[in-house]
Amino acid sequence: GIQVEQSPPDLILQEGANSTLRCNFSDSVNNLQWFHQNPWGQLINLFYIPSGTKQNGRLSATTVATERYSLLYISSSQTTDSGVYFCAVDLEYGNKLVFGAGTILRVKS
Amino acid sequence: DAGITQSPRYKITETGRQVTLMCHQTWSHSYMFWYRQDLGHGLRLIYYSAAADITDKGEVPDGYVVSRSKTENFPLTLESATRSQTSVYFCASSEPSTQYFGPGTRLLVL
């Protein structure tokens, strides 16, 4: 099956710093989404981005489908950005997602 | 309230018992999903449904049963719970791109 690899596995930032999270996938995908799991366990959808670039406030994402990777940028990080960031992909129409292992982000004040 | 809800939020049961986890969404999304989240394995798809009365297996379906008689409900049943089914269970829905998750159910099987 498709492999989804996220890096780095762990990241510690000082408040106000910028960061880039990476997601590599092993096959062409129909669907790619980024999620944030907060410290209380809630999973929040950040982006649906099978290709191209999107921005939402301090967060932006870029997917280069032909090269099989996606990047999530977090600018001016805040303590509330802490949690786990997941990339998930789907090969087929139907949204059956395969998740990466996640990047654990800790933002220190 | 609009959105996707799960019940119960916490459940403790014993091996061999039947347990049903409930999932309800108010968006009328066609697609619904059940995932489990375990340390070391991340999130894995158990079952999904493309519409009422249409369900199919995901990556880890063994030991689970689902039904979808109404669009808004997608219950997950553990027919005879085992300790390996101790996990956090997430329900999700979509139409069909962006996927939205419920708050999760923490299940402990003793």
- For chain A, the domain total comes to 1
Per residue in B12-52, pLDDT tens? 999 999 999 999 999 999 999 999 999 877 899 999 999 99
CATH code assigned at A32:
2.60.40.10
Residues of B in contact with A44 (CB under 8 A): 101
User: How many domains is chain B built from?
Assistant: 1
Tell me whether residues B43 and A45 touch, CB distance under 8 A.
Answer: no
A103 to chain B: closest CA residue: B42
Positive or negative, the CA dihedral B5, B9, B12, B15 is positive
In this structure, what CATH number is given to the domain that contains residue B68? Answer: 2.60.40.10
Comparing A29 with B38, the larger pLDDT belongs to B38
Q: Which residues in chain A have Cβ-Cβ distances shorter than 8 Å to B100?
A: 45
Structure-block tokens of residue B81? 């719970």
Name the closest residue on chain B to residue A84, using Cα atoms.
B42
C-alpha distances in Å from residue B37, one per residue of A35, A63, B34, B87: 14, 25, 10, 6
